[in-house]
């Protein structure tokens, strides 16, 4: 994906990803077998909302964030998405939040904190590691 983003605009990459993904998914759930006459205008609005905001724009924002954030930061923020979805479901849809959900939430927050607090090695320590590796390779 990084090679594509270096060569093309993120909107083009997301557009082609959606076209290819939709085409592939068409073989699993063929859209021509749906009964579109049974759908209400409200259902069409919900489908359009999910396609635009829940998929296309969200993925585009994620790809655009790679231009200003490191891949590590982007992945950390992306890992919080399932947690925010659960919180939204509990608050908005009044879904129950059981012990397994608490364990999952704690795991997500815990690993995010561990990775966020893990300091990246400095340039000097990376050079030291490379010197040690080069020295070890010469001895072998």
Whether 42 and 95 share a structural domain: no
**Angle at 55 (CA atoms; ends 32, 115), nearest 5 degrees:** 140
**pLDDT tens column, 70-90:** 777 777 777 777 778 888 888
Whether 55 and 89 share a structural domain: no
Residue 56 contacts by C-beta under 8 Å, 6 or more apart in sequence? Answer: 14, 18
Report yes or no: 110 and 76 within 8 Å, Cβ to Cβ. no
Whether 104 and 59 share a structural domain: no
Whether 44 and 17 share a structural domain: yes
**pLDDT tens column, 1-36:** 567 777 888 778 878 888 999 899 999 988 888 888
Query: 39 is in which domain, residue-wise?
Result: 1-68
Residues 7-31 as b or e (16 or more Cβ within 10 Å = b): eeebeebbeebeeeeeeeeeeeeee
Whether 49 and 99 share a structural domain: no
Task: Copy the structure tokens of residue 89.
Answer: 């479901």
How far is residue 65's CA from residue 53's CA, in Å, rounded to a whole number? 16
Whether 37 and 27 share a structural domain: yes
Whether 40 and 102 share a structural domain: no
Whole-structure pTM value? 0.49
Structural domain count of the chain: 2
Q: Which of 68, 85, 111 is the last residue of a domain?
A: 68
Whether 59 and 112 share a structural domain: no
Task: Copy the structure tokens of residue 58.
Answer: 């969200």
Whether 12 and 47 share a structural domain: yes
């Amino acid at each position: 994906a990084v090679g594509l983003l270096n060569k093309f605009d993120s909107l083009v990459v997301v557009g082609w990803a959606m076209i290819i993904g939709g085409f592939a998914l068409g073989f699993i759930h063929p859209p021509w077998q749906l009964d579109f006459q049974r759908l209400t205008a409200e259902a069409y609005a919900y489908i359009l909302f999910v396609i635009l905001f829940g998929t296309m724009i969200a993925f585009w924002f994620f790809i655009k964030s790679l231009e200003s954030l490191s891949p590590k930061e982007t992945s950390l923020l992306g890992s919080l998405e399932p947690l925010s979805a659960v919180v939204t479901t509990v608050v908005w849809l009044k879904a129950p939040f059981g012990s397994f959900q608490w364990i999952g939430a704690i795991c997500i927050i815990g690993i995010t904190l561990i990775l966020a607090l893990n300091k990246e090695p400095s340039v000097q320590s990376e050079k030291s590691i490379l010197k040690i590796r080069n020295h070890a390779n010469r001895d072998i």
